Amino acid sequence: MRDMPARWPLCAAQDGIWYAQTGAPDSPAFNTGQALDLRGTLDVTALQTAVNQTAAEAQSLALRFAGTPDGPVQWLASNGSPRLAHRDLSHAPDPSATAWSAIWNELHDPINLSDGPVAGFTLWRLAPDYHILSQWMHHLVADGYTNVLISNRIAELYNAARDGHVPGPAFAPFDRIRDTEGGYDTSTRRDTDRSYWHSRLSGIETMGEIKPGPARFSDGFHRAEIALAAEDRHALQSLADRADTSWPDVLTALTTAYYARHISEGQAVPGIPLMNRMGKPARAPGTMVNVLPLVVEIDEATPLDDWLRTAASALSDLRRHGRYRGEVLRRELKLVGGTKRLHGPLINVLPFDPTPRFDGLKTELTITGAGSVDDLTFTFRGTGKSGLMLQCDANPARYNSEEVEAHLARLHAFIRNATHAQRLSDIPTLTADERHLHVVTRNITTKHVPDTTLSALIEARLRDTPERTALVFDDDTMTFADVDHRSAALAAQLQTHGVGPEVRVAIALPRSFDLLIALIAVLRAGGTYVPLDPNDRSERSTDMLRRSEPVIVLAAPDYPAGAAQLLPPGEWQDHGQPTACATPDSAAYTLFTSGFTGRPKGVVIEHRAIVNRLLWMRNHYDIGPKDRILQKTPATFDVSVWEFFLPLVSGATLVIAPPDAHRDPARIAALIRRHDITALHFVPSMLALFLASPDAQKLRIRHVFSSGEALPTEMARRFHQTIDGQLHNLYGPTEAAIDVSFFEATGDHHVQSVPIGTPVWNTRLYVLDGQLRPVPDGVAGTLYIAGQQLARGYLGQPELTAERFLPDPFHPSERMYDTGDLAYMRCDDAIVFIGRRDQQVKIRGVRIELGEIETAILRTGLAQNCVLRTDQDSGTTRLIAYAVLQGGVDTHQLRDELQHRLPPSMQPHVIVPLSTLPLTPNGKLDHKALPTPNVLAEPTRPLADGTETLLGRLYAEALDLPRPASPDTDFFAAGGDSLSAVQLTLLIEQEIQHNPGLGAILETPVLSALARQIDGAKQVNDGLGPVLNIAEGREPAFFAIHPAGGLAWCYRGLAQRMKHRVVGLQSPLLDATREAPQSLTALAKEYSDRIETLAPNGPINLLGWSLGGIIAHAAATELQSRQRQIGTVALLDAYPSNCWRDQPEPDEATALGGLLAIAGFNPDQFSHLKGRDAIIGFLRDQSHPLALLPNPVIDGVIRSVQQVNRLVREHREARYDVPVHHIYAARDHAGTPFHPELWRPYAASIDVLELTCGHADLIAAPYSQQVANHIGHTA
């Protein structure tokens, strides 16, 4: 042996082990070992000599290690080789148990790598003819191959000493390993191997994991093992012969296929340990093992023999390039740390008997440690002929012992079944016992339910307790007898119009008594009700109405009913009795949900299905006359179905929340207290807001139900800290009559989300893989639903119905529904929801198909291509649209167009323009390359200490930003809206005990400017003052004069699209202490004074919409008389005062309509909204800040409308000698005397922009962009 340097760097195989060990210096995870059971007469002297000589030959056992600034080093310690230790336990009460306890303890002792020893041998004497020889070695000095090499050398030397023959040559020195590694590192073969591996792994985007999550270091491992029977080994060899390959390769391939059955995404890429002992290092003890990924496509349909040959070929390629280090590959592919993996579980086939033979002794080998177990290791030990042991080792930080035993039994059965299978698809994943548990035992839910209709159940209850209170709405009540009378009358009326079984009736009414009567009446008439949002006038809603083909629409008189007959509540008859005609098979209702094809789907639910659901809930939760249930869910959401009808079939009282209350935690809490509510429902996102409200503290509610989204376990804990009551997590799609599973959410769960539980009556739940096979507990699969609650299908879409409602493979002649939801089963039978398999998401409980939004974007013609994704990093789901826009189109135009096509719940929160969508090398969309939306301005400087730093944090909290906002961040440009602006004011108030007011956010949304305002003035700016800075921009500014309602808020959308600064002038009449002006001219003079104060020099630009245009003209005339230069005067669909002289004075109802106009809604389209509560409720549903105005301010708006109208009627315009720019809303004024030429006597000239739109549309998308462009060109 040549001289070796005193110290030298670690070899490649040692490097990773060193750093892992130094990261946990006291961990025994990298201790390897084995124990040899020796029965018979042992020559102790010969054994001692053999062990000591072997230890001296094995140089690696004398190595020591240390870290240096230049990296870790190793050296051979003088006299560092271990020597045999002796322990006599023959006098112990239980020598064997004592020995094995000591052996395991010895293996788990930390090893001092610098001082040693790093290996050890002990001979345990249990009896004269019974000994155990144990050995332990750190993985830095010995791999599994070295352990076998050493134990075999001990046996060879022992046997030679016993029979006198000359033993074989000694071990090769350790430098053989170093030389071999050094030669490879400088060879061309290394370059070839590197190219192979980089090419082989280039197409793998995600590495599949049995248990996803970051690697967690553990000191030990769980082990389960089983010996394969002789017939199984023979069958395995026969399969290998048919496939013309070796049985070890067959085992590796089948175990890879088994692993693939346990992953829900990504590719099954196991790690294959390679000994790398060909050539010179074959007899050099040390660590050389290399683990490399096996890449082979799992083709379940190919004949099994063919696929096994393909897998064997992949294994052959792996071995051919097996010297390239796995650790190097990980670094090169940036797969170090966190959840990054080069491969999944290890599959290690050792096709030899590692048990050494000692002359005159019976021996049995036990592997006590093979180094650290990161995840799972499947090991096969034995020759295949004389025996074969299957071992499953698992990291206890990721798997419990029961899971390890299950894997062992499952893989054993998988291999046995594979030996007589034609294809992989023929092999069941589960054992027979597991399959019975999953398919049968967990679905024993049979319960006798009356075969009747929902209408029959309702009628029976109406007549059973006629005098009890059935419904409560505000201060009004209806008894069951009242409900019976009114619903029967309307049902009879509907039958005269042809309503009966399978005839649909659309209902578009706000929450009210009328809504409940309409729903019950349609059912009693035998018809099918189709709920629609009364405030949604989008193309999508029109399409749903058209496709449902109702014979009658029950809605307000101005509802666009299309071809159907409109029957408003005012025309419902008072008397009548319907004829019962529905059957349990009749359709009860049709609910539309989002559709991935670009159009919503109409789900048809029959009476038998909903009856099962309601009677289960009534029974399970003991709902009865003592209960008061709050109805607050919109009728278009399926949860409303049980809210509407459970009270009516159980005798409980239904309390109907006002139309605007379901989003206001304070009002919900007030309703609960006022009406002593015992049961209600929350979508988890709304439950979070409710629990955060001080008004929710210490409420007592018997049952709170949650569904529609995953319920976080932390929220369940918060619930029980806040509310005295039970929280129930329900799950189910619209296609299965609301809910099909239930689970009490106690908060005592060690998972992120509360399980969705177990099935309800007469319902079966399966978690299946892509071949419709049950998957094991803990493994993700698709959730399927079968049983009595399934929908009939999708209205008018038989192909889609057949695609989603499949034959039940476990119950011939029955169907099951593919939910598209990913879930897994727990060993306690509860199901845990994971997420979606497709593009469907839920936002505040509303089911949304991303494909439907993508289709809507493309149909605008403004985008060449687009893709939607969601962002949930902040806990709030946001829709992000990535769009390749047509030339000359910007995101504002696209957003404006989408306002007409999609309801608010489906509008993208952020639109990101791209020049092209990023693609992977395979031509697929590269989701990882989609940029993070840049909603944060690039910081020009750091946040200043104090208020700026505070606002940076609060902007981030209100807007769900990933980091504090910069000083230049515009609140609205960063994704804020009116509701989040209100939230921001509350957050600021909590921090500094000062509320800057909503107006401050509207006027100064840029963070640094808002900070200056807060620091400079502590007065609350509620947005109601005489001057409102609406938008920043170039000078000279435009002064936008309020319409009749007195507020200039309505100009915000227009102002955002203008390049000039926009300043709003607001009415003094909003202040109840101010006296009304004597004339409109006097008001114009006051406004002129304000303008001159704000703009003492330069030209003045004015604009006014509606009656604001008359004031703008009067102000222009006044300013001209003061010799001020007038730039642009823009009158937005405004007409001279003589047009209004004969108009009736507006009453309060008309004045309240002004609130809608200020908010950007056409009052004529919402004439069904009667009274202050209805209008404010509608605005609250739209998340508009006007809904948050205090009553005195609303009184001021009404006062302004009435007084401004008086001033206009008394006004006489003076001539103004400058051109007027008029924007004409032609659609509203066709056939009327209103026309821009009416201004001819009062202006030097008139420039007209004619738009085919309504009066209110001018300041709303999409026309506001055209108005802004036109006005900008004139200034």
Are residues 905 and 953 both part of a single domain?
A: no
Which burial class, exposed, middle or buried, applies to 377 when counting CB atoms under 10 A from its CB (0-12, 13-18, 19+)? Answer: buried
State how far the Cα of 24 lies from the Cα of 1223, in Å rounded to an integer.
Answer: 75
Of 913, 929, 945, the residue at which a domain comes to its end is 929
491 CB neighbour count, 10 Å cutoff: 27
Tell me the residue type at 1144.
P
CB atoms under 10 Å from CB of 876, counted, come to: 14
Higher confidence at residue 579 or residue 942? Answer: 579
Q: Is the dihedral of CA 1015, 1019, 1020, 1026 positive or negative?
A: negative
Range 36-43 average pLDDT: 96
Mean pLDDT of the 566-579 span: 95
Q: State mean pLDDT over 831-840.
A: 76
Residues 1200-1232 pLDDT 10s: 887 888 888 888 888 877 789 999 988 878 778
Q: Is 1040 in contact with 1253 (CB distance < 8 Å)?
A: no
Residue 1131's pLDDT is 94
Question: Mean of the per-residue pLDDT values for the chain?
Answer: 87
Question: 949 and 1085 share a domain?
Answer: no
Bond from prior residue into 1262 cis (ω within 30 degrees of 0):
yes
The mean pLDDT value for 795-818 works out to: 95
Do residues 425 and 459 share a domain? Answer: no
Cα dist. 698→447, 672, 673, 684, 695 in Å? 37, 12, 11, 19, 9
Per-residue pLDDT for 685 more than 60?
yes
Can you give the CATH number for the domain in which 478 is found? 3.40.50.12780
Could you give the CA distance from residue 175 to residue 14 in angstroms, rounded to a whole number?
Answer: 14
Calpha distance 541→864 (Å, rounded): 25
Average pLDDT over residues 386-397: 90
Distance CA 282, CA 296 (A): 29
169-211 tens-digit pLDDT:
999 999 888 888 888 888 999 999 999 999 999 878 778 888 8
What is the model's pLDDT at position 583? 96
Looking at the DSSP bridge assignments, the partners of residue 505 are 529, 552
Domain boundary among 658, 682, 713: 658
Instruction: Read off the tokens for 32.
Output: 């390897």
Residue 1188 belongs to some domain of the structure: no
Angstrom distance (rounded) from CA 345 to CA 257: 12
DSSP reduced 3-state for 953: helix
* In the block, residue with structure tokens 């799992």: 298
Cα 799 to Cα 803: distance, rounded to the nearest angstrom? 6
Token duo for residue 954:
């609060």
Instruction: Determine the pLDDT at residue 273.
Output: 92
In this structure, the answer to whether residues 985 and 865 fall within a common structural domain is: no
The answer on 452 and 419 residing in a single domain is no
Rounded CA-CA distance 461/506 in Å is: 25
- Percentage of the residues of the chain whose pLDDT score is greater than 90: 52
pLDDT in tens, 1104-1132: 998 899 999 999 999 998 889 899 999 99
Q: Is the pLDDT of residue 855 over 80?
A: no
The rounded distance, in Å, linking the Cα atoms of 947 and 99 is 69
Alpha carbon of residue 1165 to chain centroid: 36
Domain boundary among 968, 990, 1020: 1020
In a domain, 941, yes or no: yes
548-564 mean pLDDT:
93
Angstrom distance (rounded) from CA 395 to CA 219? 9
Nearest to 1198 by CA among 1005, 975, 1063, 1046: 1046
1217 in the same domain as 1086: yes
**If you average pLDDT over residues 594-605, what whole number do you get?**
80
pLDDT tens per residue, range 62-105: 999 999 888 899 999 999 999 999 999 999 999 999 999 999 99
CA dihedral 919, 921, 922, 924 (to 10 degrees): -10
Q: Are 809 and 753 in contact (CB under 8 A)?
A: no
Distances in Å between the alpha carbon of 392 and those of 91, 166, 227, 249?
35, 40, 12, 18
Distance from C-alpha of 1179 to C-alpha of 1161, rounded to nearest angstrom: 10
Q: Which residues pair with 389 in a beta bridge?
A: 227, 381
Whether residue 15 sits in one domain with residue 163: yes
H/E stretch holding 1128: strand 1126-1132
Higher per-residue confidence, 1160 vs 542: 542
What CATH number is given to the structural domain containing 1117? 3.40.50.1820
Sorting pLDDT into bands at 50, 70 and 90, what band is 618? very high
Query: Would you say 613 and 785 are in contact if contact means Cβ atoms under 8 Å apart?
Result: no
Residue 1189 located in a structural domain: no
Phi (first) and psi of residue 936, to 5 degrees: -100, 130
**Which carries the bigger pLDDT value, residue 750 or residue 829?**
829
Instruction: Measure the CA–CA gap between 203 and 295, rounded to whole angstroms.
Output: 10
Q: 999-1046 pLDDT, tens per residue?
A: 677 667 888 888 888 887 554 456 677 888 888 778 888 999 998 888
Residue that is written with structure tokens 């034995």 in the block: 382
- Answer whether residue 948 is part of any domain: yes
Q: How confident is the model at residue 1258 (pLDDT cuts 50, 70, 90)?
A: confident
Query: What tokens does 1184 get?
Result: 């508009």
Q: Which two tokens stand for residue 63?
A: 């190595």
Is the model's pLDDT at 874 over the cut of 50? no
Contact, 732 vs 741, CB < 8 A?
yes
Q: Residue 619 in contact with residue 643, Cβ under 8 Å? A: no
The pLDDT of residue 131: 97
Q: Are 64 and 101 in contact (CB under 8 A)?
A: no
**Is omega for the bond preceding 1036 within 30 degrees of 0, making it cis?**
yes
Residue 1100 lies in a domain: yes
Would you say residue 700 lies in a domain? no
Q: Which residues contact 119 (CB under 8 A, 6 or more apart)?
A: 55, 61, 82, 135, 136, 137, 138, 141, 142
Residue 1196 pLDDT: 77
Please indicate, yes or no, whether residues 241 and 162 belong to a single structural domain of this protein: no
What CATH number corresponds to the domain at position 962? 1.10.1200.10
Lowest mean pLDDT among 529-538, 866-875, 1070-1079: 866-875
Half-sphere exposure of 135 (CA within 13 A, CB side): 28
| Strand, coil or helix: 115 | coil
Q: What percent of the chain has pLDDT over 70?
A: 91
Mean pLDDT of the region 152-181: 91
Give ∠ CA 752-753-759 in degrees, rounded to 5. Answer: 145
Q: What is the pLDDT of residue 1253?
A: 83
Task: Say which range, 116-125, 179-188, 248-257, 465-474, has the weakest mean pLDDT.
Answer: 179-188
The answer to whether the beta carbons of residues 935 and 975 sit under 8 Å apart is yes
Q: Are residues 532 and 504 in the same domain?
A: yes
Say whether 1040 sits in a helix, a strand or coil.
strand
- Write the burial class of residue 1065 (CB in 10 Å: 0-12 exposed, 13-18 middle, 19+ buried): buried
Q: Tens digits of per-residue pLDDT, 403-416?
A: 999 999 999 999 99
| In the predicted structure, residue 2 carries a pLDDT above the cut 60 | no
Name, in order, each residue with C-beta under 8 angstroms of 486's C-beta and a sequence gap of 6 or more.
478, 517, 521, 572, 574
Whether the full predicted model's pTM is greater than 0.75, yes or no, is no
235 vs 1238: CA distance, rounded Å: 99
Q: Please give the pLDDT value at position 308.
A: 97
Compute the residue count for the chain: 1275
Count of domains observed in the chain = 6
Nearest C-alpha neighbor of 1184 from the set 1044, 998, 961, 935: 998
pLDDT score of 1106: 87
Assess contact for 1004 and 976: CB atoms under 8 A.
no
Asked if residue 371 has pLDDT above 60, the reply is yes
Tell me: the pLDDT tens digits for 983-1011? Answer: 787 788 778 767 776 667 766 788 888 88
- Picking from 582, 600, 596, 472, the residue whose alpha carbon sits closest to that of residue 530 is 600
Whether residue 162 is contained in a domain is answered as yes
Does residue 1090 share a domain with residue 996?
no
849: CATH: 3.30.300.30
Mean pLDDT of 462-478: 94
Provide CB contacts within 8 A for 894, sequence distance 6+: 857, 860, 862, 863, 883, 885, 911
The pLDDT tens digits of the residues spanning 96-145 come to 999 999 999 988 888 999 999 999 999 999 999 999 999 999 999 999 88
Band of the pLDDT at 25, cuts 50, 70, 90? confident
Q: What is the span of the domain harbouring residue 1010?
A: 934-1020
Band of residue 480 on the pLDDT scale cut at 50, 70, 90: very high
Which amino acid is located at 750 in the chain?
H
Query: CA-CA distance, 978 to 1005, in Å (whole number)?
Result: 11
Coil, strand or helix at 721: helix
C-alpha span between 39 and 52 (Å, rounded) = 21
**pLDDT surpassing 70 at residue 938:** no
Average pLDDT value for residue range 774-799: 94
- 276 or 501, which is more confident? 501
For 315-344, the pLDDT digits (tens) are: 999 999 999 999 889 888 887 655 678 899
Q: Which of 134-143, 762-771, 799-808, 1248-1257 has the lowest mean pLDDT?
A: 1248-1257
* Spatial contact of 851 and 867, defined as CB atoms under 8 Å apart: no
Contact 590, 569 (CB under 8 A): no
- Statement: residue 922 has pLDDT above 50: no
Strands 587-593 and 601-606: antiparallel
Q: What's the CA gap between 890 and 898, in Å, rounded?
A: 13
Cβ neighbours around 302 below 10 Å, total: 16
Indicate whether 154 and 73 sit together in one domain.
yes
**What is the 3 state secondary structure string of 481-518?**
HHHHHHHHHHHHHHHHCCCCCCCEEEEECCCCHHHHHH
Task: Name the pLDDT band for 160 (thresholds 50, 70, 90).
Answer: very high
Count CB atoms within 10 A of the CB of residue 422: 10
* pLDDT tens digits, one per residue of 1146-1183: 776 666 666 676 665 666 666 677 777 777 777 766 65
Cα gap 823→758, rounded to integer Å? 12
Q: What is the mean pLDDT of residues 726-735?
A: 96
**At which residue do the structure tokens 């003094």 appear?**
1068
Regarding whether 1076 and 1007 lie in a shared domain, the answer is no
Does residue 858 belong to any structural domain of this protein? yes
- C-alpha of 1275 from chain center: 48
pLDDT of 934 reads 60
Q: Regarding beta strands 346-350 and 376-381, do their DSSP bridges make them parallel or antiparallel, or are they unpaired?
A: parallel
Q: Output the pLDDT for position 1189.
A: 64
Q: Is the dihedral of CA 63, 367, 294, 22 positive or negative?
A: negative
pLDDT at 594 exceeding the cut of 80: no
- Return the pLDDT at 1: 41
Closest CA to 640 of 660, 619, 624, 654: 654
- Tell me which of 252-266, 876-890, 955-969 is least confident: 876-890
Q: Among 1006, 975, 1003, 1005, which residue's Cα sits nearest to residue 907?
A: 975
User: Rounded to an integer, what distance in angstroms lies between the CA atom of residue 904 and that of residue 909?
Assistant: 10
